Amino acid sequence: MGLVYEAVQSGIGGFRKVVAIKLIREEYSSIEEFRNNFIGEAKLVADLIHTNIVQTYHLGRINEQYFMTMEFVTGWNLEEFLDRHIETEQYVPADLAVFIVSRICRGLGYAHRKRDMHGRLLGIVHRDVNPKNIMVAKEGDVKLTDFGIAKALDLMYNKEGEVIAGKDEYLSPEQARCEITDHRADLFCCGIVMSELLLGYNLFETADSNQTIQNILEMELPNFTDVRSDVDQRLNHILHRAMERSRGGRFQSAEEMLTGLENFIYGDGYGPTNEKLAAYCSDLFGTDGQNAALRWFNGETQLVES
């Protein structure tokens, strides 16, 4: 329902800054529900200042067209990152897969704990953690974006319990059952993303959306050590716990999941860093990846002046 453009913000003295401009497609901009959610997303993300979340700088309007000015991330979304591995017939290294998801847990933990100016917990649940909404910058930073269907106190239009919010193959069981979610829904989705990074495919997805949802609710999870030999029992346990159907059996916070992931990658000493991920992406994409960031949202970009 949205478009993102690369833009150049100009100022006095030759000041120039590359930014992203996000706006609602024209056919949706007249619908009050979408407009209100867009404004709510901008207000929400404006106060989410964290290295693992794409920043929002400004909300504006030209005639009836609302737009957000956002941080422009030069790099790749995780779907492109995965596709490149499929093209080159290789697995994502297990330690880097865990590192990427650990950075998303850092950003989610911050968002889940966020309070408003009156000290009220906002109750943020992203509800759309999937590879298209995770960016890997050329410098190795991992950033979560698109809070467009997030729920948060008093900010976002929300019909939870009446409709399913999210993409079928990246739903938590409670989303799939049309139940009220809490922060633990995002952690289940982190488990799906991590398993996809390790396996090269979404283990729940089928051509039939109803069957995909049924898989999320009932499919027995594999022993990941049998599927991929360099996944040990510690990582297998983390994956199974993250994708536990019962919320009580899952990681209870993003911080708890982050601790488990970091113990896995750093427990024996030196582990992955932003610099290591950046060097890996440089080898993976080479010069082909220089402008991949321009394709990060539905393949539609245009250079504009603002």
Looking at 83, 116, 128, 182, which residue is catalytic? 128
293 three-state secondary structure? helix
Beta bridge mates, 69: 21, 58
Establish whether 186 is a catalytic residue.
Answer: no
Q: Is 123 left (phi over 0), alpha (psi -120 to 50) or beta?
A: left
The answer to whether 81 touches 280, Cβ cutoff 8 Å, is no
271 three-state secondary structure? coil
d(CA 115, CA 122): 5
Give the rounded distance of the alpha carbon of 201 from its chain centre.
17
Of 194, 163, 168, which Cα lies nearest the Cα of 181? 163
What would the DSSP string read from start to end of 199-254?
HSS-TT--SSHHHHHHHHHHPPPP-HHHH-TT--HHHHHHHHHHT-SSGGGS-SSH
Of 131, 256, 137, which Cα lies nearest the Cα of 194? 131
The answer to whether 199 touches 223, Cβ cutoff 8 Å, is no
**Which residues are part of the catalytic machinery?**
128
